Amino acid sequence: MSFLLHGLLYGAVVGSVLLTVTAWAVWFERKFSARMQSRLGPTIVGPVGLLQPIADALKLMQKETIFPDNADRFLFRAAPPFMVVFSLATAAVVPFGPDMIAADLDIGVLYILALAGLMLFPVWIGGWASNNKFALLAAMRGIAQGVSYELPLVLSALVPVVLAGSMSLSVIVSFQAEHGWFIVWPPGPGLIAFGIFFVASLAETNRIPFDIPEAESELVAGVTTEYTGMKFGFFYLAEYLHTLVSAAVAAALFFGGWHGPWVSGLHWFVLKTLVLFVSIFWIRWTLVRFRADQLMRLCWKWLVPISLVVLMAAAVAVQLGEGR
C-alpha cells in the first residue's frame, strides 16, 4: 500500500514539475536562440516574456482539431498522448536526489531504453494515420533513424552499467559518488561513451542535426504536418520532455547524478541536467541537418563500432580493477 502511495505521490510531483519545467524550457530556448541570432525573443507576454508558454498553451487549446480526409481517426487521436506518456514515464526511474526516485527499479537502464524504443510507435502511428505523404515519409525516416540509433544508445548506456555492475540508476549514481564520475574515471570509456550517448540521444529526440523526421524545410512539418491545436501541442511538449529526460538520464549515467562537491543533492542534479539541456539547444541552433543516408552512415560506420570497442574497454577496465 505504501509502495502504491509512494508511486502516486512521486508520480504526481515529478510529472507536474517536469511539465512545468518543460513549458519554461521552451521559453528559455526561445530566449536563448533569440540571443544567439541577435533577436529579442518573447517580450510581450509578462516580464521578459515569461508568460509566453501559458499564452502558447492557451492558443493551442483553442484551436480547432482538423482531421484530414481518409485519416484513421482513432490512430490519429491516439498518437499524441502516447508521445507524452512515454516521455514522462522515463522520468520514473531517474534519481533526482539521494532518496528522490519515483521507482527504484533494478532494471532502470533497461526500462529507459525500452521506453525510448516505444517512442517510435507514436511517430509511426501519427505519420501513417495522417494520410499525408510528407507525414508518411517523415514517419518512415523516423523509424529508420530510431531503430538505428537505438544501438549506439544501448551500447553506450551499457558502459556505466558494466562499470557500476548494476542496471539500477540509483546504484549507478551511488557508485559514482563513491568512485568518481564515469565521465572522468576510468579515463576513456566513460567520456567516449558519453559522447556517443549524447549524439544518439540527439537522434532519438529528433534534435538538429538529426531532426530529419521533422525536417520542416523538406517535409513541411514532418509527422506533425496534419496535426493542429493541442494534438500538435502534445507532440511539441513530448519532444521537449524527451529532450529534458534524456539530459537527466545522461547526467545520472555519466555525471554522477546528484553527487557533487560540498553538498550533494537535488541542486547538483538540476544543474547538470540544465547544462546538458542547454548544450542540446546550442547544437540545435548552430548546425544544419544531415541527410537521411548520411545520418545512417554516421550511425552504422562510426557510432556502433566505436561504442562496441568502448564497451569492451569498460569490461576490461572492470576486470583489471577487480584483479588488483
Contact residues for other proteins, defined by CB under 8 A: 33, 36-39, 133-134, 137, 140-141, 208-209, 211-212, 214-220, 284-294
Torsion 118-122-123-129 (CA) sign: positive
- What span, in angstroms and rounded, lies between the C-alpha atoms of 128 and 137? 9
Nearer CB in complex with other proteins: 62/217: 217
Burial (CB count <10 Å: 0-12, 13-18, 19+), residue 70: exposed
Task: Please name the residue that has the C-alpha cell 514517419.
Answer: 139
Side chain identity, residue 114: A
Nearer CB in complex with other proteins: 242/259: 242
CB of 64 to other proteins, least distance (A): 19
Nearer CB in complex with other proteins: 72/216: 216
Q: Output the CA–CA distances (angstroms, integers) from residue 92 to 101, 103, 257, in the order listed.
A: 7, 6, 15
Locate the DSSP E strands across the chain. none
Helix or strand holding residue 137 (H, E): helix 133-164
Nearer CB in complex with other proteins: 113/135: 135
Nearer CB in complex with other proteins: 223/253: 223
Side chain identity, residue 132: N
